[in-house]
Amino acid sequence: MGKNRDIVFAGGGTGGHLFPALAVADVLRARHPDRTVRFIGARNGLETRLVPQAGYELRALPLSGLKGASPVARVRGGVAAGLAVLRCVVWFARRRPLLVIGVGGYASGPAVLAAWLLGIPTMLMEQNHFPGATNRWLAPRATAVCVPSPAARERLGGVGIVTGNPVRSAFATIGPPPSGLRVSVLVFGGSRGARSINRAMKEALPALAAMSPPPRVVHQTGADEHEAIERAYQPYATALDAEVRPFLDDMPRRLAQSDFVVCRAGATTLAELAAAGRPAILVPFPHAADDHQRMNAEAVRDAGAAVVIPDGELDGSRLAREIAGLSADPARRARMRDAGKTLARPDAAERIADVADALVGGGEAPVVS
């Protein structure tokens, strides 16, 4: 049997972890058609649908989160994570991949730890400017760490190569927003939705429908609240030309059709908005680790590309007022689009692929800043 040519991405769970991984995987697949790119993920993660859809093999493990779980669930989760490490050790010992890349999410830690134990080169892709506990622990042990900013590198004790956050190439080719008197607003709370944004949009519907002209609205609700929010839109669906979906698979197309968005402030989302040049009303998730979404959002606001509403101050009246203000001011939206573009790193996926290639080739990771 010839030398194994696998590159393994490990992690997922949410779009914030998974979409950057897919962006880099696409670059590596295009560069090296003789290699096989595979994924390891959790059985209940978004990867079970999107990874095969993108044309990659997925090995799914029975994993779950520990944060906020009951004591019994934490014990079960810890046992599952330990078993996942053993499974990955067995798999990697048999296949001996060229490189294991941890992208965050439940499967990332066990897979990277297993590779480290076997002496297989490892790489971490950290999306947040404020890295979480798992990557803070793994970073000194990884062969290379790709981070979005100098701030992230500093919080990892000076470990990391600044590459920016990768986004799918489709985001970088999005042109100017639709023209016309009626604006299009895209609302989403991440792949699983956001209750506070859903609630505020529900409260804002009468005021939005009364605008002249009212905006068009596309709203990704998440699966849990989809039916309830869809019912709330029904009296206003015609006025708002509303489309209410549990999940949107075609986010690049949706952003291209929007004038601005209402969303959370995850690092991947903000990188996609910057690449697309779309203004935003950001509602940071208040329970994010180390309050990193608030700091992400404030950085984008300070650059002039977003309005920030703290989650505790969000209600239908405030949201309707901010949407109306942006809708009525195309010059302001244009300034915000230009400001957002200055934050984009459209070559981040290529940069991270360069680091991966250096590790696979046996060399040192390049210094990228």
**Which is more confidently placed, 168 or 221?**
221
Q: What pLDDT, on the 0 to 100 scale, is given for residue 37?
A: 96
Residue 280 corresponds to which tokens in the numbers above? 């935003």
**Which is more confidently placed, 296 or 245?**
245
**Does the bond joining 213 to the residue before it have cis omega, within 30 degrees of 0?**
yes
Question: What letter represents residue 164's amino acid?
Answer: G
* DSSP letters spanning 129-151: SS--HHHHHHGGGSSEEEESSHH
Reported confidence tier of residue 70, pLDDT bands at 50, 70, 90: low
Nearest C-alpha neighbor of 31 from the set 59, 4, 7: 7
**Stretch 38-63: mean pLDDT:** 90
Q: Can you give the pTM of this predicted structure? A: 0.80
Dump pLDDT digits (tens) for 73-123: 677 767 878 898 999 999 999 989 999 999 988 889 999 999 999 999 999
Compute the half-sphere exposure of residue 234: CA atoms within 13 Å on the CB side of its CA: 7
Dump pLDDT digits (tens) for 215-233: 999 999 998 899 999 999 9
Phi, psi of 197 (to 5 degrees): -70, -40
Dump pLDDT digits (tens) for 126-153: 988 778 778 888 999 999 999 988 888 9
Q: What pLDDT, on the 0 to 100 scale, is given for residue 161?
A: 95
Q: What are 341-346's contacts with CB under 8 Å, separation 24+?
A: 341/274, 341/277, 342/303, 343/270, 343/274, 343/300, 343/303, 343/305, 344/172, 344/271, 344/274, 344/275, 344/277, 345/148, 345/163, 345/164, 345/165, 345/271, 345/274, 346/167, 346/172, 346/275
The whole-angstrom separation of Cα 356 and Cα 369 is 16
Whether residue 2 has pLDDT greater than 50: no
Structural domains present in the chain = 6-167+346-360 (3.40.50.2000), 171-341 (3.40.50.2000)
Dump pLDDT digits (tens) for 238-281: 999 999 999 998 999 999 999 999 999 998 899 999 999 999 99
Whether residue 193 has pLDDT greater than 80: no
Q: What pLDDT, on the 0 to 100 scale, is given for residue 359?
A: 95
Q: What pLDDT, on the 0 to 100 scale, is given for residue 365?
A: 62
Mean pLDDT, the chain, integer: 90
* DSSP letters spanning 316-364: HHHHHHHHHHHHT-HHHHHHHHHHHHTT--TTHHHHHHHHHHHHHTTSP
Whether residue 1 has pLDDT greater than 50: no
